[in-house]
Amino acid sequence: MKVGVVLPQADDDWTTSTPPYAEIRDFALEAEVTGLDSIWIVDHVLFRFDGETSGIQEAWTLASALGEATSRVDIGTLVLCTEFRNPALLAKMAAGLDDVSDGRLILGLGCGWHDPEYEAFGYPTDHKVSRFEESLQIVEGLLHQGPSDLAGRFHSTRDCVLIPPPRHEVPILVAAKRPRMLELTARHADAWNTAWYGLPDARLAESHANLRAACERVGRTEPVTITHGVHVHYPDLHADLEDRKAISGTVDEIAAGLAAHAEAGADHVIVWLVPTTMEALGRLSEAVQRFRAGG
């Protein structure tokens, strides 16, 4: 099982401001050198809760820069909101980053959820899943099949082609939990993400069962790569978990939690550290080494 980590890129309650790129780059390089398999970037343009606005670094800029800065880790997006970018152009961008990173991109896609950022930047908030479905068809078609002609309700292409095409097969990951999104995952995606968890629980088992049912409904027989989003919390570094479930404890306890997710069917665990700091990353890396030694 692979293990990756979500990068620090937003205002959080353990930071005083949005991290600059230099700090994000240092974190990514440390994850790479200490043996993690992947780094993950979330896609928002701002957060606005209860009248308070906080910031975040833009996802594709970071992914492109880190594709050059790193050399080994996979670079995943968890997940890109397809309504933020023209889908055909997004496929073109993915082909470019595939080249920059020498085939290390995992293109995670989703339909988004945080209406205040849509409204602030002028994106439509209606029909999120329908818009996503058309975008996914365009992106998957261009990256995996060839020229695209689609006359949709929300998006369209006309004799669109990627020149140059991606040099590698770019895996598409979809984050999904409800029936319609799960069926789109089963039809079009290479990988699936379900999140956020502590130790495996009944909700995780139900999510797996729902994905299997979606694959059966659409007649999919080839396997889907399974990714679990997992919180790992170090209470002595940051006490407030904000009601999130998390794996917590010693190095051995974190390693055992990773092993539990492997047993529960994860091909790739994506860790969101609380707090997302260098010290927490060092502890996670030690736990990952312990997990691998035990496996």
**Tens of pLDDT, residues 49-103:** 998 999 999 999 999 999 999 999 999 999 999 999 999 999 999 999 999 999 9
Whether the per-residue pLDDT at 254 is higher than 60: the answer is yes
Region label for 103, one of left (φ > 0), alpha (ψ between -120 and 50) or beta (otherwise): left
Strand partners, 74: 38
Q: What is the mean pLDDT of the chain?
A: 96
- 75: part of which helix (H) or strand (E)? strand 74-77
Judged on CB neighbours under 10 Å (0-12, 13-18, 19+), 184 is buried
159 φ/ψ sector (left φ>0, alpha ψ -120 to 50, else beta):
left
Residues 179-205, mean pLDDT to the nearest whole number = 98
Q: Identify the pLDDT of residue 16.
A: 76
Q: What pLDDT is recorded for position 269?
A: 98
Digit-coded pLDDT (tens) for 111-158: 999 999 999 999 999 999 999 999 999 999 999 999 999 999 999 999
**Per-residue burial over 236-268, b = 16 or more CB atoms within 10 Å of its CB, e = otherwise:** eebeeeeeeebbbbebeebbbbbbbbbebebbb
Q: What is the dihedral of CA 144, 145, 147, 148, to 10 degrees?
A: -80
pLDDT, residue 14, reads 76
Q: Rounded to the nearest 5°, which phi and psi values hold at 157?
A: -135, 155
| Per-residue pLDDT band at 17 (split at 50, 70, 90) | confident
- Give the Cα separation of 90 and 112 in Å (integer): 15
Q: How far apart are CA 288 and CA 157, in angstroms?
A: 44
CATH number for position 52: 3.20.20.30
Residue 59 sits at the vertex; the CA angle it makes with 53 and 64, to the nearest 5 degrees, is 150
Q: How confident is the model at residue 219 (pLDDT cuts 50, 70, 90)?
A: very high
Tell me the H-state helices in the chain: 21-33, 59-69, 87-100, 115-121, 128-144, 179-188, 202-218, 251-263, 278-294
pTM of the model: 0.97
Number of structural domains the chain divides into: 1
What the block records as the tokens of 230 is 């997992």
The secondary structure of residue 83, as a DSSP letter, is G
- Cβ–Cβ under 8 Å, residues 55 and 14: no
Report residue 239's pLDDT band, with 50, 70 and 90 as the boundaries.
confident
> Domain range spanning residue 230?
2-294
The pLDDT value recorded for residue 280 is: 97
Q: Measure Cα distances from 28 to 18, 54, 59, 65, 281 in Å.
A: 16, 22, 14, 11, 10
- Reduced to 3 states (helix: H, G, I; strand: E, B; else coil), residue 243 is coil
Give the per-residue pLDDT at 224.
98
159: CB partners within 8 A, 6+ apart: 147, 149
Mean pLDDT of 172-186: 97
Residue 11 has pLDDT above 90, yes or no: no
- Cα dihedral 273/278/280/281 (nearest 10): 70
> What mean pLDDT is predicted for residues 6-19?
88
Cα(278)–Cα(59) distance, rounded to whole angstroms?
20
Tell me whether strands 156-160 and 148-151 are parallel, antiparallel or unpaired: antiparallel
Give the model's pLDDT for residue 295. 53
Taking a C-beta distance cutoff of 8 angstroms, is the pair 107, 63 a contact? no
